[in-house]
Structure 1
Amino acid sequence: MSLLATPPMPESPADEPLHGHPNANWPIYRTFIALDMEGSTLRTNPAKRVLRDRMYLLLEEGLRRSGVGAHHLDRLTDRGDGVLALIRPADAVPKTLLLDSFIPTLVDLLTDYNHGVADQPPLCLRLRVVIHAGDIHDDGKGFFGEELDVAFRLLDSPHVKRALALSAGSLALAISDEIFRAIVRHGYGTINAGAYRHGFCVRVSDRQRQGWILNDPGSPSVLAR
């Protein structure tokens, strides 16, 4: 070998195989969007079928228009009168996008749909929505974990149900304190931090977890700074 030739570099730690590898016992990080229909127990089964179908269509269309494709998503999880969407971490789908684009888009889609069925009240659709993120598990039967428990506790909180009941709109949005502090309070894009009110807590695993509610999603004062 020539004296001028560069000797081979020793293998770096990054090139060495990892000791162990991800398995079913390791958590995976996801962003969560969970939806739940208002007043589903008051509807007939045929009406529920229509509303479930519309809920899925609006969710998928809202995500698509916001640039979130099927390749960004795990399988949707059905919750009877609701649905859970899990978004894989990707620079293409920052959590900011969901608040800046997806929520306003979903509000518009819901408003258009409800205008079209205004003469059929049983088919009107109003949704509670929660956005959170964290580590969860997938055991092949479904997704589970403490952070999902937090999301569903926020979604099912009486405070969020009351916010929708008192709203003239079609959607009530709740977010976790983690989402508020990491995204909302910084006012990225069209996000108006002042439109969120910190009004409630839920208890999960003997801890108080805080939630924030967006006042009247869809109004110009909320969606534009």
Structure 2
Amino acid sequence: MSDPVYRTILLFDIEQFGTRDDVEQAFLRRLLYEVVDATMLAAGIDETARLRADRGDSVMELIDVQASVPALLKTLLAEAPALLHNKNRLMAAGTRMRLRIVLSSGYVAIDQNGWVGSDLNHAVRLLNSGTLRDSLKQREDDHVLCVSDGIYQGVVRHGPLGVRPDDFHRITVETKEGPTVAWVHGDPATRAGAAVGKEGSGTPNARGAASGPGHIDLTGASFGGSYVAGDQHGVSGNATVTGDVHLGGEGSADRGEAK
């Protein structure tokens, strides 16, 4: 295994992907790629500074540290929602693509099987949390953005141009390792009544329904470690990873598709 390298970690996940038929899934997947690629382009991130893993309803991007995090964050707050709206506005309400987005950072090691690292696990746990799922369910918007505490403390709270710290609200997510802090963008009124979700437990949403356990569809396993199986073309560069992104470790039973 190579030495860990520091990377910006960006995750996108399509809500309720597993409820769609094969034709709808293929269509939404193409839309997801278009939104992600256009977001990276708008943020000024070159293809050579990105490494991607794909698992159908989810996209994981490892981004070189030379790419500007404030520029990426501003793009996620402005251009990305506009891109998503433009894709969805001609679609029926029941077929829209709605996204959970997590921006984090940390050390990731790469071996012959792919990627591994607790910081990567942490980002996936945020993406997968009942809190973030509930937050998206309670919004009229087509997305919800969550940033890790490290991104908030290092970038958001300093208020770079185009980023308003007061627009972010602290959440606490329960994980197997204990509570972890993150920050969600948006009006807190849209999240009123959302319980802090314990990972995999299901929490009530605004309509009184329970959000199921679910998880990011990068895996059929659990969360002890992360790796990408298949071809790996290095840390930098626009590599396409073939195969599955697994989150292995304690327990390997399939938890089902992300909703």
Give the TM interval when normalised to the shorter protein: 0.7 to 0.9
Gaps of 5+ in 2: 188-259
| Residues 3-152 of structure 1: pairs in structure 2 closer than 5 A | 24-74=1-51, 76-90=52-66, 93-117=67-91, 119=92, 121-122=94-95, 124-152=96-124
Q: Is 206-215 or 24-33 further displaced after alignment?
A: 206-215
**Higher RCO, 1 or 2 (CA under 8 Å, sep at least 6)?**
2
Q: How far 1:120 moved relative to its partner?
A: 6.6
Provide the secondary structure at the position in 2 that maps to 1:58: helix
Residue 201 in 1 paired to residue 173 in 2? Answer: yes
CA contact (8 A) 2:131 2:173 kept: no
Match of 2:185 among 194, 206, 214: 214
Query: Matched residues in 1 for 2:28 and 2:166: separation?
Result: 32
Q: How far 1:101 moved relative to its partner?
A: 2.2
Q: How far 1:191 moved relative to its partner?
A: 0.5
Residue 181 in 1 paired to residue 158 in 2? Answer: no
CA contact (8 A) 1:51 1:125 kept: yes
Query: Matched residues in 1 for 2:146 and 2:57: separation?
Result: 17
Query: Matched residues in 2 for 1:192 and 1:103: separation?
Result: 10
1:114-162 Cα offsets, whole Å, 9 max, x none, are: 1022x3732x100000000000111132212100100000001111111
1:41-69 Cα offsets, whole Å, 9 max, x none, are: 11111100100111011100111122111
Q: Which residue of 2 aligns with 1:7?
A: none
CA contact (8 A) 1:128 1:161 kept: yes
Give, as a single letter, the amino acid of the residue that structure 1 aligns with 2:31. Answer: R
CA contact (8 A) 1:63 1:102 kept: no
Runs of 4+ in 1 over 4 A off after TM superposition: none
Q: How far 1:104 moved relative to its partner?
A: 1.5
Query: Matched residues in 1 for 2:112 and 2:70: separation?
Result: 29
| TM-score under structure 1 length normalisation | 0.79
| TM-score under structure 2 length normalisation | 0.69
1:17-48 Cα offsets, whole Å, 9 max, x none, are: xxxxxxx3310110010000011111111100
Q: Which residue of 2 aligns with 1:167?
A: 139
Provide the secondary structure at the position in 2 that maps to 1:121: helix
CA contact (8 A) 1:137 1:143 kept: yes
Q: How far 1:97 moved relative to its partner?
A: 1.2
Provide the secondary structure at the position in 1 that maps to 2:89: helix
Query: Matched residues in 2 for 1:106 and 1:153: separation?
Result: 22
Q: How far 1:78 moved relative to its partner?
A: 0.9
CA-atom RMSD in angstroms: 1.4
Q: 1:177 to 1:81 in 2, by over 3 A?
A: same
Give, as a single letter, the amino acid of the residue that structure 1 aligns with 2:82. Answer: D
Bigger proportion of residues as helix: 1
Give, as a single letter, the amino acid of the residue that structure 2 aligns with 1:107. Answer: P
CA contact (8 A) 1:173 1:214 kept: yes
Query: Matched residues in 1 for 2:35 and 2:45: separation?
Result: 13
